Amino acid sequence: MSEHMIIPTIEDMFAAHERIKPHIHNTPVLTSSYFNELTGAELFFKCENFQKAGVFKARGASNAVFSLSDDMLEKGVATHSSGNHALSLSYAAGRRGIPCSVVMPRTAPQAKKDAVKGYGGTIIECEPSTSSREAVFAEVVAESGAEFVHPYNDHRVIAGQGTCSRELIGQVENLDAVIAPIGGGGMVSGTCLTLSNLAPSTKIYAAEPEQADDAMRSLKAGHIIADDAPDTIADGLKVPLKDLTWHFVSNHVTDILTVSEQEIIDAMKLIWKRMKIVMEPSSAVPLASIIKNRNTFAGKRVGVIITGGNVDLDLLPWLKK
Amino acid sequence: MSEHMIIPTIEDMFAAHERIKPHIHNTPVLTSSYFNELTGAELFFKCENFQKAGVFKARGASNAVFSLSDDMLEKGVATHSSGNHALSLSYAAGRRGIPCSVVMPRTAPQAKKDAVKGYGGTIIECEPSTSSREAVFAEVVAESGAEFVHPYNDHRVIAGQGTCSRELIGQVENLDAVIAPIGGGGMVSGTCLTLSNLAPSTKIYAAEPEQADDAMRSLKAGHIIADDAPDTIADGLKVPLKDLTWHFVSNHVTDILTVSEQEIIDAMKLIWKRMKIVMEPSSAVPLASIIKNRNTFAGKRVGVIITGGNVDLDLLPWLKK
């Protein structure tokens, strides 16, 4: 997809932050004495589930949309996405008043499809596999002439996602580590961009479902491993790394931890119950990893990115048979 | 139950605030552009679902427990409750290291029973009616000699609940109105105590389920009307007014609005979906009332008390058949 690789710089992140500030929330950081006791760590939850469009991806999407040149505004933007980038790009396009086409798996949660339409996006459905998504998307771009905004392998998107940990280190001092879920690696890459420059002693961890552990295997192998259509409840984490996110992950991530589906569901329900916040299965993967790897995090000050809150409330995973 | 009526003063509320500050959260106020647009009002959600024990009642319970005289500490405290006061009193008693007995309907949500036990409280079950609860409770107090802390008809409890709107008016200026759900009237009375003294131009509204509309009928009739065992999804709002709360409600509440069970469930699900917070059916009653009475609130700055977040996540009302 990417003919050339533009690696965003810390100046790009600063510029992104200025550009998107009117369109995003500086989201709150919550703490929980219950989870501190459970894990032995001091946890700081950066609540991107309270972000515009319900997800951190509003940052990157807003940066891409608001850095578009005037001659592209009529053609608009297009993307493929497991859902959250789709609605984030629709949100940002709506704020700028330009069209937005999104290719989305037909199996994506209805709540996410409704949200995309609610923001004014146009959905084109594909089969639930990476190969189908990319094929259908190529057609859409060829026909519309729209600007492609990749969900994560895009320097504008990564610079935008990097604003999240810039806020976090302004809200919480002396973090020993930050942990975020990893799918395609957009949030993790933005985190690497910001922290490697502004807080280089803070370690960066990524967390992933065992059933979609391609990023962990990539890091061990030293090159990108991509699976076609992995299956996990954490539906935002099914996509593979790409060259740009691989650049950041391979250079700056200390470790990638994996957890089972049941561990994700248990952590998700426990966060809802104790912290009274609605968040996605993907967002529970970091806490599930901290609970599982107590020795790695106990005694540390750890930033935990709660990436999003767009859940189908009629299909909660602990209620499935 | 109350042999004499002690009406708390604004000085009692100030003293309560100093007393309980180490044991409670100054909870955040959230806003939602979605709900502002939906209602035409400017809404400020005071999130007591993030409070200690998951509910505003941690305020009043902490005030009662931490104002106990030393000679009562060994006998401890006791109460009856639909659940939230029970776990709040257990929480406060646990912080002070004294025993806590609670009489609770056998039909109360399992999540609330578990939480009471989790804080170290001892549960004695009764039938789900006001008459049974009061009878069983009388036995418990006679046997243990424990200090009775009524869930709401208690000057210490009302002074404690009043700290919530003291925080709120410090967080948000120039509120035209504040609205809270009403069951026994503890939160509403505390709100009346604080606002009638510190923000007398702010109107106070209460909101109630149609299926437990005894407070609305009381206000119209000019005297307390108590129903035995009303049935509503908003299980914290089934109890009747008592003399002390009636004093505040009859003197300071502008109006009591009622909504149907379906309106409560719809508002609850919509808040979860759009604001990404977990809250109880009772907490959705005020927003449901604002949506239903648009003309009363449009154009106004309105504080909305989200009273609590202790929900059984396995029994969400929109998933019932």
pTM of the model: 0.92
Say whether A314 and B318 touch across the interface (CB within 8 A).
yes
Q: Which helix (H) or strand (E) holds B290?
A: helix B281-292
Question: Do B122 and B77 touch, CB atoms closer than 8 A?
Answer: no
Tokens 């007398």: give the residue.
Answer: B200
Tokens 């505390």: give the residue.
Answer: B190
C-alpha to C-alpha distance for A122 and A136, rounded to whole angstroms: 14
Band the pLDDT of A166: cuts 50, 70, 90: very high
- Please tell me the predicted confidence (pLDDT) of residue B161: 98
Read off the pLDDT of residues B114-149 as tens digits, 9 standing for 90 and up: 888 988 899 999 998 888 988 999 999 999 899 999
Lowest mean pLDDT among A9-18, A72-81, A293-302, B26-35: A72-81
Token pair, residue A283, equals 């967002």
Would you say residue B3 has pLDDT above 90?
A: no
- Please tell me the predicted confidence (pLDDT) of residue A203: 98
Question: Do B276 and A278 touch, CB atoms closer than 8 A?
Answer: yes
- Please tell me the predicted confidence (pLDDT) of residue A21: 98
Give the mean model confidence (pLDDT) for residues A20-29. Answer: 97
Would you say residue A42 has pLDDT above 70?
A: yes
Say whether A277 and B278 touch across the interface (CB within 8 A).
yes
Say whether B313 and A313 touch across the interface (CB within 8 A).
no
Say whether B30 and A49 touch across the interface (CB within 8 A).
no
Would you say residue A2 has pLDDT above 60?
A: no
Closest residue to A277, CB basis, from B111, B273, B277: B277
CATH 3.40.630.150 fits domain B10-55+155-319: no
Give the mean model confidence (pLDDT) for residues B6-24. Answer: 98
Contacting A residues, span 235-274, partner chain B, CB-CB under 8 Å: 269, 272-273
Lowest mean pLDDT among A7-11, A177-181, B78-82: B78-82
Residue A15 touches partner B, C-beta closer than 8 Å: no
Question: Could you tell me how far CA B194 lies from the centroid of its own chain?
Answer: 15
Share of chain A above pLDDT 90, in %: 83
Q: Do domains A10-54+155-319 and A58-148 have the same CATH topology?
A: yes
Closest residue to B318, CB basis, from A28, A313, A318: A313
C-alpha to C-alpha distance for B75 and A232, rounded to whole angstroms: 53
Give the mean model confidence (pLDDT) for residues A144-164. Answer: 96
Closest residue to A309, CB basis, from B276, B309, B313: B276
Would you say residue B320 has pLDDT above 80?
A: no
Please report, for chain A, the start and end positions of each structural domain, with discontinuous segments joined by +. Answer: 10-54+155-319, 58-148
Share of chain B above pLDDT 70, in %: 98
Residue B49 touches partner A, C-beta closer than 8 Å: yes
Chain A residues with CB under 8 Å of B319 CB are: 314, 319
**What is the identity of the amino acid at A46?**
K
Token pair, residue A127, equals 């089969």
Say whether B313 and A318 touch across the interface (CB within 8 A).
yes
Read off the pLDDT of residues B223-281 as tens digits, 9 standing for 90 and up: 999 987 789 999 889 889 999 999 999 999 999 999 999 999 999 999 999 999 999 99
Band the pLDDT of A321: cuts 50, 70, 90: low
List the single residue in A with minimal CA-CA distance to B280.
A276
Lowest mean pLDDT among A157-161, A174-178, A233-237, B160-164: A233-237
Token pair, residue B268, equals 């609850």
List the single residue in A with minimal CA-CA distance to B53.
A274
Give the mean model confidence (pLDDT) for residues B296-320. Answer: 94
ipTM confidence = 0.91
C-alpha angle B21-B305-B220 in degrees, rounded to nearest 5: 120
Read off the pLDDT of residues B186-212 as tens digits, 9 standing for 90 and up: 999 999 999 999 999 999 999 999 999
State whether residue A209 is helix, strand or coil. strand
Lowest mean pLDDT among A227-236, A286-295, A308-317: A227-236
Closest residue to B273, CB basis, from A28, A279, A313: A313
DSSP string covering A61-77: HHHHHHT--GGGTTT-E
Tokens 């996006």: give the residue.
Answer: A121
Mean pLDDT for all residues in chain A: 94
Selecting from 2.60.120.10, 1.10.1200.10, 3.40.50.1100, 3.40.50.1110, what CATH number does the domain A10-54+155-319 have?
A: 3.40.50.1100
State whether residue B107 is helix, strand or coil. coil
Question: Do B78 and B54 touch, CB atoms closer than 8 A?
Answer: no
- Please tell me the predicted confidence (pLDDT) of residue A112: 75
Chain A residues with CB under 8 Å of B279 CB are: 276
- Please tell me the predicted confidence (pLDDT) of residue B2: 46
Contacting B residues, span 103-122, partner chain A, CB-CB under 8 Å: 111
C-alpha to C-alpha distance for A76 and A96, rounded to whole angstroms: 10
Q: What is the β-pairing status of strands B122-126 and B147-148?
A: unpaired
State whether residue B295 is helix, strand or coil. helix
- For testing the chain B interface, which of A276, A316, A319 should be mutated: the one with the most B CBs within 10 Å? A276
- Please tell me the predicted confidence (pLDDT) of residue B229: 75
Tokens 């989790």: give the residue.
Answer: B118
- Residue B203 has a CB neighbour count (10 Å cut-off) of 19
**Radius of gyration for the alpha carbons in chain B, expressed in angstroms and rounded:** 18
C-alpha to C-alpha distance for B162 and A14, rounded to whole angstroms: 44
- Please tell me the predicted confidence (pLDDT) of residue B321: 54
Band the pLDDT of A3: cuts 50, 70, 90: low
Give the mean model confidence (pLDDT) for residues A184-197. Answer: 98
Closest residue to B277, CB basis, from A269, A276, A318: A276
Read off the pLDDT of residues B33-82 as tens digits, 9 standing for 90 and up: 999 999 999 999 999 999 999 999 999 999 999 999 999 999 999 998 76
- Please tell me the predicted confidence (pLDDT) of residue A123: 92
**What is the identity of the amino acid at B118?**
G
Read off the pLDDT of residues A259-292 as tens digits, 9 standing for 90 and up: 999 999 999 999 999 999 999 999 999 999 999 9
Closest residue to B278, CB basis, from A278, A318, A319: A278
- Please tell me the predicted confidence (pLDDT) of residue B128: 87
Q: Fold for B58-148, please state it.
A: Rossmann fold (3.40.50)
- As a dihedral over the C-alpha atoms of residue B237, residue B243, residue B244, residue B248, rounded to 10 degrees, the angle is 80
